[in-house]
Amino acid sequence: MGPGSGSAFLPASPRVSSGSRQALCLWLPTFELRLELVRSPALDSTSLALLSSGESTRRTIWQVSERAHEAGVRPGQLVSQAVSLCPSLTLLEPDPAHYDAAVESMLELLSEITPILEPAGRGRVFLGMDGLGRLFGSPERQAKKTLHSLFRIFPAPLVAATRAGFAPGKFGAWVAAASARSGEPVVVGDSDLARFLAGCPVSALPVDPLIVQRLERLGVQTLGELRRFPEPSLISQFGDEGRSALAWATGRRIDPVRPWHRPEPIRVSLDFPNPVGITETLHGALDRLIERALSRPTRQGRSVTGARMGAQLEGGGSWFVQTVLREPTAQRERIASPLRMKMAIAPPPKAVDTLIVEFTQFGAASAQTGLFDRRDESGRAAAGRELTRGEVPPSLRDAVKELKLRLGHSPLYRVVEVDPWSRIPERRHALLSFDP
């Protein structure tokens, strides 16, 4: 079965209390490769493979076309192995910006059908369909209408290759989609779910692949065969995943579709007059872009917890690295440093035409630094200008005045260096009373 990543079935954030029990899963296998074929139809008659992104040396195959598959080329093979198996193989660099744009437009379109959307990777999305019967009719009609709506953004071959499954819960919908034929949705009702799941292979379970391998070695091929085992023996063999596997196999566990929340990213870009391949130039440009993104009004009052750095490459194609920051921050260096490190590990494969920085996740503004901000937040006294070194911001001056009125003295102190290189620790720093 396809790319059954388990993450889609992990429990959602406890903050999200509601979800949709009835789920529609749309799945487009080898989504990225099909997008490349749509972009360059001439490649359809060739043996085609998409390279994995990431490693700069020892590149591997990510996705393969049917012709390449027939020649023995498989995902995960080294390029040298693949070319020796299929000398006429056409290799393509991945273009993540193009794929992400296609996903964005698909999600935007599907949000017209239901507000409850939960993407699970690029080629797979779950739609919450609770309460849509009176609008669109039976589950079959709902699934067909959803598939049909894709014609507005995708060409016919892409829509025709999309599989759809409608069932209670995400697991049921995913298994239904995986067993569906292109363009013909599989609909499973509440009463049929257990019977439908019984015939499905254990490889559909979103559990550790090693568990699936062990089950298959033990002769357990289908979910129906798995059900014969008592729960305690599955738990003793596979731990908590054994319990989850049984709950999915029997249809007892129904994972609702949770509405997906993604804040509007802040995106800034820089076009180079000539393609750039020098790392230092890219680092300088990265710093300038982060500064620009941080100064955007939409960023004010929020810190950054996730960022992406990307590029449009010379001669087509794109490249991306992303990072999740350990702590929310609004400091340029703290954002730039992990991105530079990722770039060192997986540098752009070609010279860069346009460099892009995106802030994708946000945290709360830091309240701790507010008092000592060197900008006047009210904008009345200093009108937002940078204060010179040693100048005390009016917000801080007012706060100290108020504390002195209440306590009779200023309880604020400043840490000053006295003899920072002294061998005697108590000589290095001191507290100085702060009373502007």
Binding site for another protein (CB under 8 A): 408-409, 413, 415-416, 418, 423-433, 435
How far apart are CB 432 and another protein at their closest, in Å?
6
CA angle, residues 50, 93, 6, in degrees to nearest 5: 50
Nearest to another protein of 398, 435 (CB atom): 435
Query: How far is the C-alpha of 388 from the C-alpha of 331, rounded, in Å?
Result: 19
Nearest to another protein of 69, 429 (CB atom): 429
Nearest to another protein of 264, 426 (CB atom): 426
DSSP states of 252-295? ----PBPPP--PPPEEEEEEEEEEE--HHHHHHHHHHHHHHHHT
Query: How far is the C-alpha of 398 from the C-alpha of 114, rounded, in Å?
Result: 51
The letter for the amino acid at 58 is R
How far apart are CB 403 and another protein at their closest, in Å?
13
How far apart are CB 431 and another protein at their closest, in Å?
5
- Non-local CB neighbours of 284 within 8 Å, separated by 6+ positions: none
Cα atoms in the Cβ-side hemisphere of radius 13 Å centred on 285: 23
Query: How far is the C-alpha of 85 from the C-alpha of 71, rounded, in Å?
Result: 7
Nearest to another protein of 372, 413 (CB atom): 413
How far apart are CB 426 and another protein at their closest, in Å?
5
Query: How far is the C-alpha of 176 from the C-alpha of 170, rounded, in Å?
Result: 10
Query: How far is the C-alpha of 180 from the C-alpha of 166, rounded, in Å?
Result: 10
Buried b (16+ CB within 10 A) or exposed e, 342-359: bbeeeebebbbbbbbbbb
How far apart are CB 399 and another protein at their closest, in Å?
18
Per the document, the length of the chain is: 436
Nearest to another protein of 219, 420 (CB atom): 420
| CB-based contact 118:8 (threshold 8 Å) | yes
Nearest to another protein of 42, 407 (CB atom): 407
Query: How far is the C-alpha of 278 from the C-alpha of 183, rounded, in Å?
Result: 48
How far apart are CB 424 and another protein at their closest, in Å?
7
Nearest to 193 by CA among 178, 215, 171: 171
Nearest to another protein of 210, 430 (CB atom): 430
How far apart are CB 408 and another protein at their closest, in Å?
7
| CB-based contact 226:220 (threshold 8 Å) | yes
How far apart are CB 392 and another protein at their closest, in Å?
14
How far apart are CB 402 and another protein at their closest, in Å?
17
How far apart are CB 111 and another protein at their closest, in Å?
50
Nearest to another protein of 297, 425 (CB atom): 425
Query: How far is the C-alpha of 206 from the C-alpha of 75, rounded, in Å?
Result: 20
Nearest to another protein of 127, 396 (CB atom): 396
Token pair 């490649």 in the structure block, residue: 43
| CB-based contact 410:435 (threshold 8 Å) | yes
Nearest to another protein of 160, 418 (CB atom): 418
How far apart are CB 400 and another protein at their closest, in Å?
13
Nearest to another protein of 101, 430 (CB atom): 430
Helices (H), 18-138: 31-39, 66-70, 79-85, 96-110, 133-136
At residue 3, what are phi and psi to the nearest 5 degrees? Answer: -75, 75
